[in-house]
Amino acid sequence: MWKQGTFVTRKSYGSDMIFRIESIEQNMAILRGVDYRLMADAPLDDLVKVQEPQHSDKLEVPDMQKRECQRIIDDTKRRYMPFFRSAGESEDKESFSYFEVPGKVLHLDGDPAYLRKSMELYKQYQVPAEGHHVQESSMADLLYRLLPELRPDIVVITGHDGIYKDSRGDHLYHLSSYKNSHHFVRAIRACREYERNRDVLTIVAGACQSHFEALLKAGANFASSPARILIHALDPVQVAARISYTSMKETITMMDVYDKTVSGVKGIGGIESKGSYRVGIPNFKLMY
């Protein structure tokens, strides 16, 4: 009856969330959330089969956050126009036509559906990004190969995570209490072996209920989840886009990004970090 890919809910949780069966181990199913970046497990007799869900609003960024992020990107683009327009008044204006270099993103995602949605949003924001679907346990190994090849400015490391049942109190600070946080930590460390400077390579890491403190200690600039809550599937993209279109001369704080995410500061926290956006002159494409 039960097989990989079946959509289910859990009776013990009042069927409050839809999951997809990742694998079955004896009488237990390993589950990945459909609407949230949550990983869980449940006895087979606790599962209820449901139909494949149609398009979910939870996989879309609400208009308010999307507009705010787009506004920041547009403001960054407009900021440089008066300078170059003024500089070109006394000389050939074409010589002062400029080109943009927003920060380039490498996005690793443990969920193919979330990856597709993420790449669509990067494209909408005009953020240069390359995405790879990879199991959380293999992310560190892939980064060792991809980082020297792609040389990104921003790395997003995300997928699914969750706290093991009954891991409360002091156990919340044990890495072993989390399903995938230790894999995210390994991936972050791989990034920091490649580039130690947090202002040269910015890392956004984590998923639902991830061990926020461990991810920051490993070297992430921004991470989930300070309050161990379920984060919106596209919040890491919102943060990465903000970094990509913030000037490398400016500092980003959590106050600059929290209202661009759906989950807010309970879902994603971080440290002061430099932006990755640059401009250059001249734009040869406009000159010839």
In a 13 Å sphere around the CA of 204, the CA atoms on its Cβ side amount to: 30
Spans of all domains in the chain: 7-49, 58-280
Give the pTM: 0.86
Q: 58-280 sits in which CATH class?
A: alpha beta
Structure tokens at 219: 């070297």
In a 13 Å sphere around the CA of 104, the CA atoms on its Cβ side amount to: 7
Taking phi first (over 0 means left), then psi (-120 to 50 degrees means alpha), and beta for anything else, what does residue 264 get?
left
- CA 134/CA 210 separation, integer angstroms: 18
Integer CA distances (angstroms), 60 to 55, 56, 64, 131, 237, in order = 9, 8, 11, 18, 12
Query: Which residue from 175, 173, 179 is spatially nearest to 189, judged by alpha carbons?
Result: 175
By CB neighbour count within 10 A (0-12 exposed, 13-18 middle, 19+ buried), where does 159 fall? buried
pLDDT for position 99 = 82
Query: Which residue from 248, 250, 274, 246 is spatially nearest to 260, judged by alpha carbons?
Result: 246
Q: How confident is the prediction along the chain (288 residues), in pLDDT tens digits per residue? A: 788 889 999 998 888 888 999 889 888 898 988 888 888 888 998 999 898 876 555 667 777 777 778 887 888 777 766 555 554 454 555 555 778 899 999 999 999 989 999 999 999 999 999 999 999 999 999 999 999 999 999 999 999 999 987 766 667 889 999 999 999 999 999 999 999 999 999 999 999 999 999 999 999 999 999 999 999 989 999 999 999 999 999 999 888 887 778 889 999 999 999 999 998 877 666 544
- Strands 154-158, 105-109: parallel, antiparallel or unpaired by DSSP? parallel
By CB neighbour count within 10 A (0-12 exposed, 13-18 middle, 19+ buried), where does 145 fall? exposed
